[in-house]
Amino acid sequence: MALWNAAYERKEAMTTEERLSALWRRFLERVGAGDLPPRPEGLRPVPEDFAALGPQLFRAQLLSRLLDVAARRLQPEGRIFYTIASAGHEGVAALAAPLKVGDMAFLHYRDGAFLVARALLAGVRGEAAPDDIVRDMALSFTAAKDDPVSGGRHKVLGSRELLIPPQTSTIASHLPKALGAAFSIPLARRLRPEGRVLAADGIALASFGDASANHSTAQGAINAAGWTRHRGLPLPLLLVCEDNGLGISVPTPRGWIEESFTHRPHLHYMRADGADLADSLAAARDAVARVRQGQPVFLHLSTVRLGGHAGSDVESAYLSSVEIAAQEERDPLLHSARLLIEVGALTTDGIVAMARAAEEEVMSKMLAATRMPPLETAEEVMASIPPFPSGARERKGARGQRSGDRPAAIPAGEGDRLTLARALNLTLAEALAERPEVVLLGEDVGRKGGVYGVTRGLQARFGPARVMDTLLDEQTILGTAIGLAHNGFLPVPEIQFLAYLHNAEDQIRGEAATLSFFSNRRFANPMVVRIAGLGYQKGFGGHFHNDNSLAVLRDIPGIVLACPSRADEAAAMLREALRLAREERRVVVFLEPIALYNERDLVAPGDGGWTFPLPGAGARIPFGEIGIYDPAPTGKAAEGFDIALVSYGNGHRLCRQAQHDLAARGMRARVIDLRWLAPLPVEAVMEAATPCREVLVVDECRPAGNVAEGLVTAFAEEAGRRVHRLSAADSFIATGPAHAATLPSRESIFRRAQALLEA
């Protein structure tokens, strides 16, 4: 076939497609001529069973290489849309041999040979496996709608049957969740969550490149692995650094990875030659045996990158012809062929025959995949973003809950009226008592009970395995939660302050929230992320402890952002958040206004108007349902309301105060509490605002990218109605007497509403 007939010749500007095709031709020619590189000295002995196992691993290497060759050939024709080759990294096929399908694997994007090898070996062992892994990978390469991994949304390596969650860009962002998955395995043996997935003796593998090893997520996860072992806890985690010496075009200094990771505390360092299948296999077996005993291992696998980084990258722009030739001499296919001949597993003719058969199989399946229909409509693309059709939102487009419709209260142990912080504490205790899969984790949540005491007493009652103090690293906190969710737990991680989320927002944006999208709903990371935030703290803060911007959370497709403002609603909303995570597999961010944690008064000091009874057991506020608070009856007939004050969090309480002040001047204001900030309950808000002459959206966050901007736009586009907004100034927040100077206040809300009504 024309695809395989490119003649091999060294060019200074050889395209990636030309080079991979030439390498394939060169491989066949050198095998036929017996011109194979010698085995380097100092490697591990060839395993005794290599003659039996080697051919299966070699076939996986061949299939992976040929998928790369075919993809690069078809990309210029517009039949392949994204290419990043595994060529040169095929030694990772050896890692699949000592692992079981019950060992979760988070893969580097160059690990096509591992995916193929795991599928082939699973079939031999009688484990669950895809029917045809080459066909499945071809469908992913061609972005076909029938791709069983992502449903045509991206070229990713993954498989539900093989317990390989797909990764979209492995700049080490998957290491924290691999850490969490490994941590969950011994924890699940103790707590036995109903939905656990990983085997009791399983391990978690994470592979990544040498350049990614420098990323903060990698450094944080590896540090956390040592920290965990230092505390005497088992951690069955295998970290595989595939070192090809390049970060796209930037060389990794020779010896840097070994020097950086050889002496890490509680992390066992090993190295192997990734071009030598036998050395990789022996090292993998040793590493896996150690990991199954709870010892994390860093396996440094020296590899080579053949054919450029990705897409149209041409290596000759930054590598000399001598460097390129040296890479090609370490081609894993050449070294595997020589090993198989030496141990008598295959003859030269047998290798060529196997290669030709693989060539025919890959090309036929890749061409068949190019004829399969792709995704076409927005609805098809978005079908894997929650909520799913089967997710049955309880009250879609809920009209709202009026202030007089409170659920029946139950005794709370401190009288009937509670602060927001106490209501959250009791609700978390309720969740921990009812569901063994619920675990709380975060810095200071245990013995201290959190910075503001919200989790006080929970660790003493439920134990450190359910309420876990973590190290100070938000990436590790959220990544651990993602990994726990992979194994049947319902994690409730806490981020101490909203500003601290920015250290780790990609764990939500790039990992937890996208997993369902890129796995076509086959994987999800259900969790409820508790974050203390927003402004109005009087004696403590500055912009690191009073962050008033939600833009980073509001633009992530599929996540739910909840913000309670009072005790009873906080309890009912937290119950709903836990239900959304448990039943609909949602990622929920539960934003708790710090300044309202211990607030007791509403209109005047000592009135106790901001304490409320805990709602009855099981009472929830359904996702999307708003709160509606009308002024007290005046005894005279009135049609409609003068103004609607729409807000959330601290703004809700301030609007209630302004409502009181407006009423004293004969003006009727309806207060609407959004509660749910993403997705915004636009339809319910517009309906609730219908009987109001004017609408003022009060947003304690900054003008750009926050709630008021979204609501005002929605009113204009969907209702053709003019709506006003009062937002915080475009400023950070100060500490001290000026802590609220840039924020909406009771007085500013009253003045703005009065001005609108008098205009």
Task: Render pLDDT for 410-458 as a digit per residue (tens, 0 to 9).
Answer: 444 444 899 999 999 999 999 999 999 999 999 999 999 999 999 999 9
> CATH number of 627-758: 3.40.50.920, 3.30.450.20, 3.40.50.720, 3.30.70.2700?
3.40.50.920
Q: What is the pLDDT of residue 401?
A: 62
Q: What is the pLDDT of residue 650?
A: 97
- Residue 724 has φ and ψ, to the nearest 5°, of -105, 160
Q: Rounded distance, CA 207 to CA 203, Å?
A: 13
Q: Rounded distance, CA 591 to CA 573, Å?
A: 11
Domain limits of the chain? 23-37+48-381, 389-596, 627-758
Q: Could you give the residue numbers annotated as active site?
A: 545
Second CATH level (architecture) for the domain 23-37+48-381: 3-Layer(aba) Sandwich (3.40)
- Residue 249 has φ and ψ, to the nearest 5°, of -115, -5
- Residue 213 has φ and ψ, to the nearest 5°, of -60, -20
Q: Shortest CA distance to 183 belongs to which of 418, 397, 479? A: 479
Q: Rounded distance, CA 728 to CA 731, Å?
A: 8
For residue 637, give Cα distances in angstroms to 32, 169, 243, 640.
98, 62, 78, 10
Q: Rounded distance, CA 458 to CA 428, Å?
A: 8
Q: What is the pLDDT of residue 542?
A: 67
CB neighbours (10 Å) of residue 405? 9
Which stretches in the chain have pLDDT values below 50? Answer: 1-12, 390-397, 404-415, 637
Q: What is the pLDDT of residue 314?
A: 80
- Residue 258 has φ and ψ, to the nearest 5°, of -60, -45
Answer for the pair 701, 546: CB distance below 8 angstroms, yes or no.
no
DSSP letter at 719 equals I
Q: Rounded distance, CA 685 to CA 397, Å?
A: 10
DSSP letter at 374 equals B
Q: What is the pLDDT of residue 407?
A: 43
Q: Shortest CA distance to 59 belongs to which of 343, 360, 351, 342? A: 351
Q: What is the pLDDT of residue 369?
A: 95
Q: Is 344 exposed, middle or buried (CB count within 10 Å of its CB: 0-12, 13-18, 19+)? A: exposed
Domain 23-37+48-381 and domain 627-758, same fold? Reply is yes
CATH 3.40.50.970 fits 389-596, yes or no: yes
Q: Rounded distance, CA 62 to CA 386, Å?
A: 38
Please list, residue by residue across 543-565, b when 16 or more beta carbons sit within 10 angstroms of its beta carbon and e when fewer do. eebbbbbbeebbebebbbbbbbb
pTM for the model stands at 0.92
